[in-house]
Amino acid sequence: MLLEEMTFAEVKQYFADGNEMAIIPCGSTEQHGHHLVLGTDTFLAETLARRLSEKTGILCAPAVPFGYAEYHKDGYPGTIGFDQDLLYTIYYSIAEQLVQMGAKKSSLSTAMAETAIPSNEFP
């Protein structure tokens, strides 16, 4: 159940039906050596979240394709990243908006440790 493929009425009904959960796939656009593409972390996080959504019916938000990539910015063209404070603000803002829609819980699906946020700090 992909948020970007739903109408606003379908999203409203999803939460009205008692569904409480949403998944936020969190990736990164950064180098992974010569053998992998820049979007590897995003593809992995999104694939995991979509498969979980298919199996459980949990709403899956669109993937955030940027992460914390401070170590990869210099010398690796194509890397786009944010500092941790901005990244946290982005994730938190998405979660808050999902709460406004009706979610009571949200989960980050991530493919890299740098995007992990302690669960006690997240709505």
CATH class of the domain at 3-121: alpha beta
Q: Which band of pLDDT confidence, cut at 50, 70 and 90, is reported for residue 78?
A: confident
For the chain, domain boundaries: 3-121
Q: What pLDDT, in 10s, does the model give residues 6-15? A: 999 999 999 9
- What is the arithmetic mean of pLDDT over 52-66? 96
Q: Which band of pLDDT confidence, cut at 50, 70 and 90, is reported for residue 106?
A: very high
pLDDT reading at 23 higher than 80: yes
Q: What pLDDT, in 10s, does the model give residues 33-46? A: 889 999 999 999 99
SS (H, E, C) 14-71: HHHCCCCEEEEEECCECCCCCCCCCCHHHHHHHHHHHHHHHHHCCEECCCECCECCHH
pLDDT reading at 59 higher than 70: yes
